[in-house]
Structure 1
């Protein structure tokens, strides 16, 4: 069952043209959690060679929303989120791990830890985010 959920989540991600530009993929999805990964490429970096903050923000936004979608259902929208950058992201892969901390009838609150993975596979926390995701179901 989890593989079916993951495949459906990846189809939703693939239907968003911007996701294709950054090369995002869902690697875990279900039970109030989601993991989104992006391989670091030169065109995703800023002038100092670090992964652009907008890419981290995008990853947090989508991971938060996908995690909340596991508890609210598939029709969800970001209500808002905040992100704190801890250190510059330089490495091979960005991993955004989100989990729901509370779900109500029409909204969920989730948090996301963003890690940069180096060539040896070591993870370093580079940002944290928290957000509110809203159900887009008609009332």
Structure 2
């Protein structure tokens, strides 16, 4: 488990975009990860809500349920199907308010494919 966490943190820290937006790998383990993101002005659109983004995957779907606002976001992802070349993951995105209340803002599903050299 420690090797997995060390590896996950190394991969996460090697991603310039995650560092740029201030994302932090809060926890991880076999088949799951939790990433936090502070809501700051440069991540908001003109109405003050967190701007939507995208990911490099072979397939990606997201349902935005309500605007994300509060102090930070938490993305809770779980691998639902894993093989040698791809994984299908589901992710709930919650916004955390000033009082700690979590509000489900989005549900995503993506298929991630292993890179080939």
State the TM-score, normalizing by the size of structure 2. Answer: 0.90
User: Contact 1:108–1:133 at 8 Å: present in 2 too?
Assistant: yes
User: Contact 1:34–1:99 at 8 Å: present in 2 too?
Assistant: yes
Structure 2 counterpart SS, 1:53:
coil
Q: 58, 76, 79: which one pairs with 1:100?
A: 79
Structure 1 counterpart SS, 2:112:
strand
Specify the alignment match of 1:17 in structure 2. Answer: 16
The answer to which of 91-100 and 11-20 deviates more is 11-20
How many residue pairs are counted as aligned between the two chains?
Answer: 117
User: Contact 1:6–1:26 at 8 Å: present in 2 too?
Assistant: no
- Structure 2 regions of 5+ residues with no counterpart? none
Q: How many Å separate the matches in 2 of 1:30 and 1:38? A: 19
Q: 83, 87, 98: which one pairs with 2:66?
A: 87
By percentage of residues, which structure has more helix?
A: 1
- Structure 1 regions of 5+ residues with no counterpart? 62-76
RMSD of aligned C-alpha atoms? 1.6
Q: How many Å separate the matches in 2 of 1:103 and 1:41? A: 34
